[in-house]
């Protein structure tokens, strides 16, 4: 058997986490959540699952507009330009996570938003795969703990 990835290892932990409050006879029928990183959407779901598992508050931010058949035009969402895909609160600090997949690169509005969030004391990170996320979020958590004198484990 080949080397197990960080994501596949976490997938097993998350499966147990999701079933923790279910009755024993129901647990074996609980569907397994598949965590992947092939697309930006799959990677976003996997990152959100990790943050929930870790006990942090996280929400997905819908920044995509839609085409209105009634208006016969594209209607932009009401979100701020450059808003990240995920917004998390980690030990009371704002952490924005923009997920990029493939050749996707940060847009100018996202880089401006990153500067604004960081200037106000928050964090805004770009992640390209699950291992990249784990490295960056670990650094963010360590910095938050350093700022507020949390005991490191």
The tens digit of pLDDT for each residue in 38-81 reads 899 999 999 999 999 999 999 999 877 777 788 787 777 777 88
Instruction: Classify residue 83: in a domain, yes or no.
Output: yes
Give the tokens for residue 124. Answer: 């805004």
118: pLDDT strictly greater than 90 = yes
Count of other CB atoms within 10 angstroms of residue 141: 19
pLDDT at 36: 81
Total tally of structural domains belonging to the chain = 1
Instruction: Classify residue 10: in a domain, yes or no.
Output: yes
Instruction: Classify residue 153: in a domain, yes or no.
Output: no
Instruction: Classify residue 152: in a domain, yes or no.
Output: no
Q: List the one residue out of 124, 118, 122, 119 whose CA is nearest residue 86.
A: 124
Q: Which structural domain, as residue segments, surrounds residue 66?
A: 6-147
* H-only helix segments in 20-129: 24-27, 40-53, 108-119
Instruction: Classify residue 39: in a domain, yes or no.
Output: yes
Instruction: Classify residue 1: in a domain, yes or no.
Output: no
Instruction: Classify residue 97: in a domain, yes or no.
Output: yes
pLDDT at 59: 96
Whether the full predicted model's pTM is greater than 0.85, yes or no, is: no
Percentage of the chain beyond pLDDT 90 is 54
SS3 94: strand
Give the tokens for residue 43. Answer: 């990677």
φ/ψ of 87, rounded to 5, equals -125, 120
Contact 138, 146 (CB under 8 A): no
CATH for 108: 3.40.1350.10
């Amino acid at each position: 058997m080949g080397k197990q990835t960080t994501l596949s290892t976490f997938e097993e932990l998350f499966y147990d986490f999701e079933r923790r409050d279910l009755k024993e006879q129901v647990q074996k029928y609980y569907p397994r959540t598949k965590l992947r990183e092939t697309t930006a959407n799959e990677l976003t779901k996997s990152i959100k699952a990790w943050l929930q598992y870790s006990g942090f508050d996280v929400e997905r931010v819908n920044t995509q507009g839609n085409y209105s058949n009634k208006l016969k035009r594209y209607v932009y969402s009401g979100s701020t330009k450059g808003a990240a895909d995920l917004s998390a609160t980690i030990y009371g600090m704002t952490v924005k996570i923009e997920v990029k997949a493939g050749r996707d690169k940060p847009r100018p509005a996202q880089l401006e938003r990153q500067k604004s969030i960081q200037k106000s004391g928050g964090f805004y990170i770009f992640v390209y795969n699950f291992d990249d996320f784990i490295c960056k979020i670990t650094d963010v958590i360590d910095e938050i703990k350093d700022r507020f004198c949390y005991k490191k484990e």
